[in-house]
């Protein structure tokens, strides 16, 4: 049928194009009166691959594109596993590791991304010697590079390789392994609306399955691009449509409805696992997600127990005809053609529906029902008849998600209640800040956000929080727009939940275990030199003249009288950089020349800490007349030269690094770390007669405020603070650090006003009486 209103509308075909990918879309639009356009002139885009951000920015409800930013959380093999694993971990924390919600997420094989997970893979292989592994490029298609590994030690250590548990007991058709290709359509991002096409395919391997013949890819892999090369097979590429597949299951005595109900739940949970990524990317890049949709080709394996597993989600799934005329080709073509035609109708490519201006539950319901009426052979996965069965898996549903669920479910869903996650609250007078204890980030809140936070963390729902804000804001003011206020509340809560600062209740405090992996290397012989940090000394060995040149400013020779064995630091020249060994532990690999000095400073500074101490990698100013007193200077950056140039003429010694403990009062231990210069060059600090110091003031370098707040100082210090094991400080230490800073005299040191800097330093240190006379 030709839509006359579409006569002037234009489509654009782009990306890694092949006519087989474009044909059905082009034919569907031309039948509606559309004409070919260009990358600069289109109302409907069909792109194979991922388009440039400039094309995403054109999206509106009347400019539709078949992709959305953030899709790599599903379509990259490594990201898919991470998305699902993160969701399973979050549900385990909330409900407990043996809860039904966690069991529903047991449908994806564990994966290891090289090279970061190399040692974790080896540990897993050692714990389960019978496990087989499959090697895949983390971002490739058409089966390129895939092969089986009998020994995990053969996994490559280069980037962009994924090693996945191999499911070695598949269900078979006539003795052949197969996977199901299902077509999933993400039709709306907010609120989430998700569909699966009723038809799809079972894709068969071209050789009978042989568990022991791991070298025969035609037996183990089902990708048609691989099997097409099997010249010994009578039917190298065979597709069976889902109608015939389900009928065959019933003939075998299996419950096909139960299998597909489970598959549909897995597909919904897979999309939910990546939802935050989609929404955050659209928000960050200011993309109107109403103009985008995503058609995914999801491959699922059915094992011998008829349990389904999600293996991968394919971006721009192949719409070409793979099977031959006698092995399902004509039916494959008909299904894919109808798939595209139904998709074009479902997403309202002609923009016949006018987007509503309000977000009321009734409007959201009407939009969803009109879309469903256009769905053809697409089945709606979410929202389902009982959306509450999936809402618990959202990090936090959006306001639209919740309202749509309430409009479709006969049971009115209760609003979410939240509780604190990985966070510590920091209060400085009337100001509230949040410290992300998992990532080491500090977030300052304005008055409105602080009230939202306090109410939410005490269990108030979004509606009751909105009520509090609405009534409070009316005092002496014009009443605000309550609907806009409620949207703001939901957005704040969504952001904090995505950051892990809040989480839906009920919560369960799970435990995690960390595995440290130590690698050993053959020592090389070099000329020893000495690093000295906080009274400790290490002997450096290297044959690399460029490395010695970068570090030379911080090195000394060991004292001849010292008859002791110093711990050995060894710089190892690798194929594309450097590695660092301290004693028998390899602490870094693949470093560039400019990274050597900073990494060594960090490693040695942390090794000088005692139990429960925190390394604060910041500046200390010490005057020779008062060697036991120091001013702490919070620095935002790695270049110490400007501060050195400022304070040296004033008679102060610039020292680096302190070991801090919350029970030590104003006393700290100076670490005397080497100073940093551009390019990773190290400079020895000025000698100081004292290691134990009293902090008599706190300053901020190059800040306009005459008295920086404790929170401002804390925000500058936290990125440079860590425990011996590299963790960021916990909430107790951060609270104590804030209290400590609040009790100190505080001032700024302007580098462009040395006399003012001198006055402020002398006010803070008792030597001023002698030096000023």
DSSP 197-247: ES--EEEEPSS---TT-TT-HHHH---HHHHTT-TT-SSSSEEEEHHHHHH
Considering the domain boundaries, does residue 137 fall inside one? Answer: yes
Let me know whether 163 and 240 are in one domain. yes
Residues 6+ apart with CB under 8 A from 742: 428, 710
Q: What are phi and psi of 741, to 5 degrees?
A: -65, -35
pLDDT (tens digit per residue) in 624-655: 888 889 999 998 666 677 888 888 888 889 99
pLDDT band with cut points at 50, 70 and 90 for residue 458: confident
Q: Mark whether 86 and 57 lie in a shared domain.
A: no
Give the residue with greater pLDDT, 327 vs 222. Answer: 222
pLDDT digits (tens, 9 = 90+) for 522-546: 223 334 678 777 677 888 888 887 7
Contact (CB, 8 A) for 380 and 194: yes
Would you state the pLDDT for residue 511? 29
CA distance 597 to 639: 13
CB 12 within 8 A of CB 43: no
257 within domain boundaries: yes
Structural domain count, the chain: 5
Cβ proximity of 94 and 511 under 8 Å: no
Residue-wise pLDDT for 668-720, tens only, equals: 999 989 888 877 888 888 776 668 889 999 998 876 677 899 999 999 999 99
Q: Within its chain, how far is the Cα of 558 from the centroid?
A: 46
H or E element at residue 296? strand 294-302
Please check the confidence at residue 323 and state whether its pLDDT lies above 50. yes
Contacts of 167 (CB under 8 A, 6+ apart): 109, 301, 303, 309
pTM of the predicted structure, to 2 decimals: 0.76
Q: 154: domain CATH number?
A: 3.30.470.20
Last residue of a domain, one of 574, 605, 636: 605
Tell me, what's the pLDDT at 320?
Answer: 87
Residue 360 within any structural domain of the chain = yes
d(CA 592, CA 546): 11
pLDDT for res 689: 64
Per-residue pLDDT of 86-106, as tens digits, reads: 999 999 988 889 999 999 999
Burial class (CB in 10 A: 0-12, 13-18, 19+), 689: exposed
Residue matched to tokens 């070409």: 320
Asked if 502 contacts 420 with a C-beta cutoff of 8 angstroms, the reply is yes
618 and 728 within one domain: yes
Vertex 494, ends 488 and 500: CA angle to 5°?
A: 140
Calculate what percentage of the chain has a pLDDT beyond 70.
90
| DSSP string over 514-532 | ---------------EEEE
Same domain, yes or no: 451 and 319: no
**In a shared domain, residues 424 and 320:** no
Residues 675 and 752 in one domain: yes
Residues 489 and 390 in one domain: no
Q: Is residue 521 part of a domain?
A: no
HSE at residue 558, side-chain half, CA atoms within 13 A, is 19
The parent domain of residue 21 ranges over: 4-62
**Is pLDDT above 60 for 185?**
yes
Which of 618, 652, 616 lies closest to 637, judged by CA? 618
Per DSSP, helices labelled H in 96-230 are: 100-103, 118-127, 217-220, 224-227
Q: Is residue 509 part of a domain?
A: no
Least confident of 52-56, 379-383, 768-772: 768-772
Q: Are residues 91 and 230 in the same domain?
A: yes
| Helix H or strand E segment including 482 | helix 482-498
Distance in angstroms (rounded) separating the CA atoms of residues 71 and 47: 14
Question: Is the per-residue pLDDT at 507 higher than 70?
Answer: no
> Would residue 635 count as lying in a domain?
yes
pLDDT reported for residue 524 = 30
Distant-in-sequence, close-in-space partners of 321: CB < 8 Å, separation ≥ 6:
20, 329, 332, 333, 336
pLDDT at 275: 97
């Amino acid at each position: 049928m030709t839509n006359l209103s579409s006569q002037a509308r234009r489509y654009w075909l782009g990306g890694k194009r092949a006519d087989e990918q474009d044909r059905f879309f082009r034919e569907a639009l031309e039948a509606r009166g559309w004409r070919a356009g260009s990358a600069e002139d289109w109302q409907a885009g069909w792109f194979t691959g991922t388009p440039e951000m400039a094309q995403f920015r054109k999206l509106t409800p009347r400019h539709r594109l078949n992709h959305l930013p953030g899709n790599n959380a599903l379509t990259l093999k490594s990201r898919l596993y991470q998305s699902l694993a993160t969701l399973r971990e979050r549900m385990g924390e909330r409900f407990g590791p043996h809860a039904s919600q966690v069991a529903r997420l047991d449908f994806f094989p564990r994966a290891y991304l090289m090279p970061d997970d190399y040692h974790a893979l080896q540990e897993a292989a050692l714990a389960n010697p019978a496990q087989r592994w499959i090697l895949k490029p983390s971002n490739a298609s058409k089966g390129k590079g895939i092969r089986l590994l009998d020994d995990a030690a053969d996994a490559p250590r280069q980037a962009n390789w994924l090693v996945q548990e191999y499911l070695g007991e598949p269900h078979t058709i006539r003795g052949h392994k197969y996977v199901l290709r299902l077509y999933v359509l993400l039709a709306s991002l907010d609120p989430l609306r998700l569909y699966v096409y009723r038809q799809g395919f079972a894709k068969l391997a071209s050789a009978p399955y042989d568990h022991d013949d791991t070298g025969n890819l035609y037996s183990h892999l089902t990708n048609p691009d691989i099997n097409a090369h099997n010249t010994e097979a009578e039917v190298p590429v065979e597709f069976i449509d889902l109608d015939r597949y389900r009928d065959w299951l019933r003939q075998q005595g299996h419950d096909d409805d139960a299998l597909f109900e489970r598959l549909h739940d897995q597909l919904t949970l897979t999309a939910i696992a990546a939802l935050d990524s989609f929404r955050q990317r659209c928000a960050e890049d200011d993309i109107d997600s109403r103009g985008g949709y995503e058609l995914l080709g999801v491959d699922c394996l059915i094992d011998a127990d008829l349990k389904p597993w999600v293996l991968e989600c394919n971006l721009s799934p192949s719409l070409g005809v793979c099977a031959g005329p006698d092995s399902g080709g004509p039916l494959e073509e008909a299904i894919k053609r109808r798939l595209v035609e139904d998709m074009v109708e479902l997403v309202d490519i002609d923009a016949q529906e006018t987007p509503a201006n309000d977000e009321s539950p009734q409007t959201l319901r009407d939009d969803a029902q009109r879309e469903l009426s256009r769905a053809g052979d697409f089945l709606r996965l979410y929202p389902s008849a009982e959306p509450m069965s999936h809402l618990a898996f959202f990090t936090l549903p959006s306001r639209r998600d919740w309202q749509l669920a309430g409009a479709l479910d006969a049971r009115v869903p209760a609003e979410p209640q939240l509780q604190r996650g990985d966070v510590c609250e920091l209060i400085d007078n009337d100001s509230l800040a949040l410290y992300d204890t998992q990532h080491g980030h500090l977030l300052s809140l304005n008055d409105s956000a602080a009230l939202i936070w306090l109410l939410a963390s005490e269990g108030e729902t979004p509606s009751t929080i909105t009520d509090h804000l609405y009534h409070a804001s009316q005092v002496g003011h014009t009443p605000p727009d309550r609907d806009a206020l409620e949207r703001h509340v939901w957005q704040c809560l969504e952001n904090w939940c995505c950051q892990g600062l809040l989480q839906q209740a009920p919560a369960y405090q799970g435990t995690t275990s960390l595995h440290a992996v130590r690698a050993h290397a053959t020592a090389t012989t070099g000329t020893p030199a000495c690093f000295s940090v906080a009274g400790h000394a290490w002997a450096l060995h290297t044959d690399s003249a460029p490395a010695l040149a970068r570090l030379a400013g911080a090195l000394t020779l060991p004292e001849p009288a010292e008859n002791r064995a110093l711990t050995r630091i060894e710089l190892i020249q690798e194929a594309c950089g450097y590695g660092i060994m301290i004693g028998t532990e390899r602490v870094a690999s693949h470093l560039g020349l400019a990274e050597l000095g900073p990494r060594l400073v960090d490693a040695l500074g942390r090794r000088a800490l005692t139990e429960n101490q925190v390394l604060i990698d910041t500046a200390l100013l010490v005057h020779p007349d008062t060697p036991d007193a120091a001013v702490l200077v919070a620095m935002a950056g790695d270049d110490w030269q400007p501060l050195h140039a400022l304070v040296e003429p004033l008679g102060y010694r610039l020292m680096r690094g302190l070991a801090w403990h919350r029970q030590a009062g104003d006393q700290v231990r100076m670490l005397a770390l080497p100073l940093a210069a551009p390019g990773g060059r190290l400079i020895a600090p000025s000698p100081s007669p004292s290691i134990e110091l009293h902090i008599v003031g706190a300053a901020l370098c190059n800040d306009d405020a005459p008295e920086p707040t404790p929170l401002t100082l804390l925000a500058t210090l936290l990125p440079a603070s860590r425990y011996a094991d590299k963790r960021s400080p916990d909430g107790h230490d951060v609270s104590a650090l804030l209290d400590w800073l609040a009790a100190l005299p505080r001032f700024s040191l302007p580098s462009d006003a040395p006399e003012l800097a001198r006055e402020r330093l002398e006010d803070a240190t008792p030597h001023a009486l002698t030096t000023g006379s």
